Amino acid sequence: MLRNDDDNLELTRRDAMKAGGAAAVALGLGGTASHLTSLGEAQSTSLEYEEVPTACWIGKMDCSATAKKVGNRVVKYEGNPEDPRTEGSLCPKGQAQIEQVYNPYRVKAPLKRTNEKGQHGEWQEISWDQAMDEIGEDLKEKLQDDPRRVVFQVGRKKSPQWQEDAWVTGTSNKYGSMEKYGHGAACSDSGYRGQELIFATHGVSETDFENCEFFIGWGHNMTQGGGAHLCQITWPKQIADARDDQGMETVAIDPQRRNSGPYTDQWLPIEPGTDMAFWLAFNSVLVREGYIDEEYLTTATNAPCLVATEGDEDGHILRTDDAQDPGEEYTWADGELVWDEDAGEAVAHEEASSPENVALEGTYEVDGVEARPAFDLYLDQISQYDPEWAAEITGIDADTIDELAMKWGEKAKIGATVEVDGIEIPYRPVGMHGYHVAQQEMGVSTTIAHYHAAMLVGAVDVVGSTRVRKAKYDGPKDYREPFRDQAFHPEKITKEPDGPSLGGSMFHPIDSTAFSQSHVSQTNPDKYNLPYEPEEMAWIVQMANPVTSAPGVETVIESMSRVDTTIVCDPWMSETADVAADYVLPAATADKLQGPTGGWDGYADIEHIRFPSMDPLWDTKPDAEIYIQLAKAVDAYEEYVADINDELGLDGTDYAYAGADETPDDPSEFLRDGLDRWAQTKGKSLEWFREGNVITNEWDVGGGNRYAYTWGMDNGYGEFNPYDAKHEFYSETLFRLGERVDELMADSKFDDPVSEFPYLQDYNAYPTWREPTMYDSPDEYDLTLFSWHQIEHKQTRTANNKLLNEIAPKSAFRLNPEDADRIGVEDGDEVVLETHDAQNDETYQVEGVVMIQDGVKPGTVGVPHHHGSWKDPESEALDEGPSINRAIPSGPGYLGLDNGQAFQVRAKVEPKGGDSE
Ligand SMILES: Nc1nc2c(c(=O)[nH]1)N[C@H]1C(S)=C(S)[C@@H](COP(=O)(O)OP(=O)(O)OC[C@H]3O[C@@H](n4cnc5c(=O)[nH]c(N)nc54)[C@H](O)[C@@H]3O)O[C@H]1N2
Ligand SMILES: Nc1nc2c(c(=O)[nH]1)N[C@H]1C(S)=C(S)[C@@H](COP(=O)(O)OP(=O)(O)OC[C@H]3O[C@@H](n4cnc5c(=O)[nH]c(N)nc54)[C@H](O)[C@@H]3O)O[C@H]1N2
Ligand code: SF4
Ligand SMILES: [Mo]
């Protein structure tokens, strides 16, 4: 069945302009006239030169920047040398934001839809007052009835305090919890879930580049990306410095070579979606060769804890009778038994006579039950996965995997220590990083497998190693707690989800908030036991464009079209706004006050504010002001203000708002006043930041900073656990969640739950390989498709940036010369790319042009993300690239146990006009 050739919704941009173009100029959309008028007025009054401190608005690390102005016109954005992460650079995107700020096709005033959803919008311009009144009435009615009827969908966000944080929290405090979803299920949340499960910390692997000597970039955009917290400039610079300063070697595991070329000593072209097999084999070599840091494993992890291998507790860690409730204690659960070789008996982990006496291997009997240290079970598990086995699956030959793992083991220098600022800390100069690559069908377990490679050699949060936390926290956060709580109180998991993300229910007890899956569920409310049909729901879409940025585009469109009321807050008529919004609220871009913002580079963090390059253009508003008004519109202003105290860190200081009465009436005054109060809690003022200053906090070693090993020393388990949380090498949490999910699914309407939801197979205490669902596609789909981010673009929010489209137009389909030859196509040829959903047998087609590259693994086709979103006619002429998310399926089979989206699918490419048409 073909889905994209339906004539109902083949959304080409030309259609869009045909449908809405004429009306658009007159309304709040498109056209240049009003813009030029306002500019002319400004210029005639003043041509003075001025500099305004601001922050890059496109990227994710908000690089501190300066807007250089002549008259009221910004002529250039430049980096701020005060920002330690950039030392004054801005990347091409940061510089090119000037084009988007002045883009005459911005949405200029609030818009209300006048036609049916599911097609290009027709709009009526309305006042902010009317928009707020109507939206407020609609939301209030639903919230009063049941707050679960309202979904707040946020995308790759910025300064969340005023909108997704205070508005959602404040409104939920008044009416009860609404559904709040992020974009992470399409970004990297499967990696976060893996890290939270093991380490209880938040993020995905990072590296102490200042001291690392050997780095594995696992599907990491080494020269163009920035991992969990950074955007682009900082890590590539740190990697280049590490190569110069300490000769750091680097390896890239990636189906394409990209331009990591000069920064990569070794490229391992891997078959997309098979990374778990690679890491399992890698770890089997570490075990085979004895590259094991026993001290780390016995003191900081549950590897020595005794797991019952028979009876009722089979698969569970055994505990002392008086052990605390493990669901309550997510950091270090007291009372988990280990075998004390000196005492010759099982004792609580923290009571063992000394770490050296804690057994990692053997079979023991505890109260008549056979039990083995978790690590002993690991030895059995991992020995099945040798490099020969993985070579077949990954396309990387066995010797290469073998040698790489041996090198990692050797270079980890197990046992070495180094003194930093007078403190002796283990020295393990091997690091790794993976981020968006975690979005694979078995992404959570794959992330865990990659962490095992660091854990086996003890290279976790010590000098030179992989880092698993922000490295400035003074203690662990509660990121594992919700999962432990469910695992040990299984009755909390039910068959009935609260909303389309299915979070907390038997479908996905662990939840990445389902960017794409929400729409699969929402279009099948009965199947997924949803409390409401989409026709009863409201969605607020803040700074997200799920129609283009989430796979399963047609499903998202169908789902969003059925929603009763959708409010999209966006500077542009995004695809999501175009087909699904009832109201579009025009956010300002770099022409707005926004903050506080900041970020860190692993060694220091900065705090600053985005001052508006100019007053908001047209009738647009800063996001914060929109949500201040929206809080009033839903009668939750009191609660909003209470939460603003919390979000801005004003609580408990002299600067906290005593109540809503104390806030200025005018939202823009409130925003200024709030930011000034925030600044005052830092001993500064808004004016101080307005002078171009930023706050920089260096992270020290010791005293609660930088290396976990130093801050955990006095955690009460000092000798036993240098970290504050016991690392779950053996994921008892996942195992127990699986038991509950199996129980509920067995008693459900699904006759064969595993075939319906393949990810149910993945609730294992140790990562366990199975073939990804995509391999069930017929053989004619002989390529594996993968996608990625380009240096010149940022998600879909730059799709209409003319400067960036000049340098990176189109999403050409990258093929290896071998495949191009076989298919019979040449560089620049027009082709049809067809993918197949092995779960439901649907196919999807997109058209594009071929780009032939040696640096693409044979048997794969690579297509960059970013393109295919809303464009005005000018950017349309520069960029006709499709959105590859039209060809990536969503839903089971392409989805992890955490409802995280996979970005790999089997595909074929044929010349346009060929047989497949
Ligand atoms: N095939 C494929 N798909 C992918 C990816 C991939 O690699 N391949 N990457 C994924 C990743 S990592 C992520 S993070 C997601 C991102 O997905 P999203 O979070 O949806 O990000 P964008 O696609 O940039 O959409 C953001 C929207 O916010 C609007 N916007 C920009 N600035 C502002 C502002 O200041 N205020 C408001 N209110 N709106 C603003 C933009 O115009 C745009 O419409 O995409 C994912 N999608
Ligand atoms: N310039 C720029 N920088 C960005 C962004 C941007 O849009 N533009 N987005 C920011 C955001 S939101 C994020 S999430 C990060 C993402 O940063 P990264 O996690 O580094 O993600 P990508 O840039 O998509 O690079 C992913 C790499 O994985 C490879 N890959 C794809 N599939 C597989 C697979 O199955 N296995 C393996 N081993 N590799 C695979 C791709 O070829 C690509 O080279 O970047 C941030 N930085
Ligand atoms: S690195 Fe990111 S935040 Fe910094 S200038 Fe570039 S796009 Fe903007
Ligand atoms: Mo992302």
pLDDT band, residue 227 (cuts 50/70/90): confident
| Closest ligand 3 atom number to CA of residue 94 | 5
What separation in Å is there between the alpha carbon of 600 and the centre of ligand 3? 13
**How high is the pLDDT of residue 221?**
81
Interacting residues of 839 by C-beta distance below 8 A, sequence separation 6+: 758, 773, 776, 889, 891, 892, 893, 894
Q: Are 839 and 891 in contact (CB under 8 A)?
A: yes
What is the distance in angstroms between the CA of the first residue and the CA of the last residue of the chain? 13
Q: In a 10 Å sphere around its CB, with 0-12 CB exposed, 13-18 middle and 19+ buried, how is residue 780 labelled?
A: exposed
- pLDDT above 80: residue 14: no
Residue 240's CB: how many other CB atoms inside 10 A? 16
Q: Which ligand is nearest to the CA of 814?
A: 2
Interacting residues of 353 by C-beta distance below 8 A, sequence separation 6+: 340, 342, 343, 347
What structural domains and CATH numbers belong to the chain? 2-105 (2.20.25.90), 106-181+516-601+604-698 (3.40.50.740), 190-478+712-738 (3.40.228.10), 773-911 (2.40.40.20)
789 lines ligand 2 (CB under 6 A): yes
- pLDDT above 50: residue 703: yes
Higher pLDDT, 532 or 38: 532
What separation in Å is there between the alpha carbon of 435 and the centre of ligand 1? 16
**How high is the pLDDT of residue 51?**
94
**How high is the pLDDT of residue 683?**
97
Give the span between the Cα atoms of 671 and 668, in whole angstroms: 5
278 lines ligand 2 (CB under 6 A): no
Residues in the ligand 1 pocket, defined by CB under 6 Å: 155-156, 183, 186-187, 436, 542-546, 549, 569-572, 574, 587, 589, 623, 787-789, 795-797, 865, 884-885, 888, 903
Atom 33 of ligand 1: nearest residue by CA position:
543
Atom 40 of ligand 2: nearest residue by CA position:
219
For the chain, percent of residues with pLDDT exceeding 90: 79
| Closest ligand 1 atom number to CA of residue 549 | 47
Interacting residues of 446 by C-beta distance below 8 A, sequence separation 6+: 190, 194, 275, 276, 279, 438, 440, 767
b (16+ CB within 10 A) / e for 56-66: bbbbbbbbbbb
**Can you read off the two tokens belonging to residue 151?**
């979904």
- pLDDT above 60: residue 12: no
- Max alpha carbon distance in the chain (Å)? 91
Q: Which ligand is nearest to the CA of 540?
A: 1
Element (H, E) at 372: strand 369-373
What separation in Å is there between the alpha carbon of 234 and the centre of ligand 3? 10
pLDDT digits (tens, 9 = 90+) for 193-207: 999 999 988 889 999
What separation in Å is there between the alpha carbon of 868 and the centre of ligand 1? 12
What separation in Å is there between the alpha carbon of 210 and the centre of ligand 3? 22
| Closest ligand 2 atom number to CA of residue 440 | 35
Of 160-164, 846-850, 870-874, where does mean pLDDT reach its minimum? Answer: 870-874
Pairing of strands 843-852, 905-911: unpaired
What separation in Å is there between the alpha carbon of 95 and the centre of ligand 4? 21
852 lines ligand 3 (CB under 6 A): no
791 lines ligand 3 (CB under 6 A): no
**How high is the pLDDT of residue 4?**
32
> What single DSSP character describes residue 154?
E
What separation in Å is there between the alpha carbon of 63 and the centre of ligand 2? 19
What separation in Å is there between the alpha carbon of 542 and the centre of ligand 4? 15
Q: Which ligand is nearest to the CA of 578?
A: 1
Atom 35 of ligand 1: nearest residue by CA position:
589
60 lines ligand 2 (CB under 6 A): yes
| Closest ligand 1 atom number to CA of residue 546 | 20
**How high is the pLDDT of residue 229?**
82
91 lines ligand 3 (CB under 6 A): yes
Rounded average pLDDT over 567-590 = 96
What separation in Å is there between the alpha carbon of 433 and the centre of ligand 4? 14
Rounded average pLDDT over 665-675 = 98
What is the DSSP secondary-structure string of 661-698?
GGS-SSHHHHHHHHHHHHHHHTT--HHHHHTT--EEEE
pLDDT band, residue 446 (cuts 50/70/90): very high
pLDDT band, residue 17 (cuts 50/70/90): very low
Q: Are 476 and 331 in contact (CB under 8 A)?
A: yes
pLDDT digits (tens, 9 = 90+) for 805-822: 999 988 999 999 999 999
pLDDT digits (tens, 9 = 90+) for 454-502: 999 999 999 999 999 876 666 666 789 999 999 999 999 999 999 999 9
- pLDDT above 70: residue 548: yes
pLDDT digits (tens, 9 = 90+) for 730-770: 999 999 999 999 999 999 999 999 999 999 999 999 999 99
Task: Kindly calculate the radius of gyration of the chain based on its CA atoms and give it in whole angstroms.
Answer: 27
pLDDT digits (tens, 9 = 90+) for 343-365: 999 999 999 988 899 999 999 99
H helical segments located in 113-164 = 128-145
Atom 7 of ligand 2: nearest residue by CA position:
794
What separation in Å is there between the alpha carbon of 792 and the centre of ligand 1? 14
- pLDDT above 70: residue 46: no
pLDDT digits (tens, 9 = 90+) for 300-337: 999 999 999 999 999 999 999 999 888 877 678 889 99
What separation in Å is there between the alpha carbon of 478 and the centre of ligand 1? 28
What separation in Å is there between the alpha carbon of 232 and the centre of ligand 2? 11
Measure the CA dihedral 438/444/445/450, to 10°: 40
Residues forming a β-bridge with 697:
605
Higher pLDDT, 267 or 229: 267
**How high is the pLDDT of residue 476?**
61
**Can you read off the two tokens belonging to residue 621?**
């508003």
**How high is the pLDDT of residue 437?**
97
Tell me the pLDDT of the chain averaged across its residues. Answer: 91
224 lines ligand 2 (CB under 6 A): yes
HSE-up of residue 733 (Cα within 13 Å, Cβ side): 33
pLDDT digits (tens, 9 = 90+) for 366-398: 999 999 999 999 999 999 999 999 999 999 999
Atom 2 of ligand 3: nearest residue by CA position:
59
pTM of the entire structure?
0.95
Rounded average pLDDT over 544-571 = 97
Atom 2 of ligand 2: nearest residue by CA position:
791
221 lines ligand 2 (CB under 6 A): yes
pLDDT digits (tens, 9 = 90+) for 274-304: 999 999 999 999 999 999 999 999 999 999 9
Q: Name the residue among 449, 288, 294 with its Cα closest to residue 379.
A: 288
**How high is the pLDDT of residue 473?**
66
**How high is the pLDDT of residue 460?**
95
**How high is the pLDDT of residue 710?**
76
What separation in Å is there between the alpha carbon of 156 and the centre of ligand 1? 6
**How high is the pLDDT of residue 721?**
80
**How high is the pLDDT of residue 1?**
28
**How high is the pLDDT of residue 355?**
86
56 lines ligand 3 (CB under 6 A): yes
For the chain, percent of residues with pLDDT exceeding 70: 92
Q: Name the residue among 388, 344, 368, 305 with its Cα closest to residue 733.
A: 305
Measure the CA dihedral 144/147/151/155, to 10°: 110
**How high is the pLDDT of residue 359?**
98
Of 32-46, 144-158, 510-524, 845-859, where does mean pLDDT reach its minimum? Answer: 32-46
- The residue whose two tokens read 């049941």 is 146
Mutation probe of ligand 1 site: the residue of 440, 545, 846, 884 with most atoms within 8 A of C-beta: 545
pLDDT digits (tens, 9 = 90+) for 629-664: 999 999 999 999 999 999 999 999 999 999 999 999
- The residue whose two tokens read 């794959």 is 446
Of 129-133, 324-328, 517-521, 715-719, where does mean pLDDT reach its minimum? Answer: 715-719
